[in-house]
Structure 1
Amino acid sequence: MQVALDDYVWAAGLATELVNTAAAVWHGEDHLPDLASLVTFTELHGSDSLTALARRARVADLRAVHELRTTVRELIDHPAPDRLVAASALTASVGAITLLADHTPPRWTASLRPGATVADALSLACGVGILGVVRALGVDRFRACGAPTCRGAFIDTTRPGRRRYCMPGLCGNRVNVANHRARRAAAREGT
């Protein structure tokens, strides 16, 4: 598996999705409880090579993914620049950096070492995403979800940098519906 260093938007999105599978985000329900859910996660958010690694995963690999998820969550929750760079450099240490000079323009990629696990691949992607966002967008893009009932977190890679929710389609809609209902109730009380 290779991750282009300029693909930090995809990689940061993968890190966000991984973090938001935790039981704390879903009020006690872990969204990566077993190996089958890990395969499904990589099919939805990863690449074919990541999914192939997930299909060969063992229970120990799943535990390593859970540990990675905790590490990435701590980085998002406490985004001090020096801490992010140091920790994500360690996270990305499972691969080798290569210059692909035959591309126009040339591209730098991070590749997994032979024998890497799915946890190694996710670690590499998360490290590239975190380092890319720190370099290109800044540490203020690491945020907690703005929905009052959500415990999710995310890395905002949108151009304007105004994303407020970890899952806009879910958390954002819940907030909008609650606001709409509150306005309707206030209007009924005022008439």
Structure 2
Amino acid sequence: MAVTFDLFGTLVDVEYPVDPAEVVARELESRGVAVPDDWHVAYGERHVDAPTGAEVPLPAHVAHALDSRGVDAPGNIVRHAVVAAFDPDVTRRDGALTAVRDVAAHGPVGLLSNCAVPELVPKTLIRAGLRGEFDAVTTSVGCGWRKPHPNAFEAVAAALEVSSETLVHVGDDPETDGGVVDVGGRFVDVTETPLSAVAAELEPEP
């Protein structure tokens, strides 16, 4: 058995920008990019024809949104702007570190997070004091697929060198995290089973 954890809303809480398009616009403008007048419209449009369940990295989305309005911006500038726009305060949830360490007694422990922003997950783990606690860290921006797509769970299983059927995924969203059951795994919902009880939940019944 291998245990994987969701990150945002499960192990940590973060303050997301209320208006992501506006924050990204400010970061772009501070780097000399001429943001179009209808930026909020462009930001909200779909610009990349990706398969269902595939992750589109936010810098790619932003670059295509700018290009759709005739604005050409170097990719490194767009990436830096996006990374700077999503630089949140992070609070580790009560019992998170203990839960991760306790379940390690049952086998490999991984992290599987939906996140379209490069660098955000590693940064969050550092700020939450969780860096180095996982045998594998898999993100949607890294593997190319978002939960609940089976490919996301199969990616973290491969990183942990286990079969997807052995996964127990701990998360807070049945719609996304619950997708583990489609690859034969098990879902533990932290809205029903608190982090302090996750390890006990994995103990075999007598």
Q: Same-fold call, TM > 0.5?
A: no
Instruction: Give the TM-score of the pair, scaled to structure 1.
Output: 0.24
Report which of the two has the higher share of helix: 1
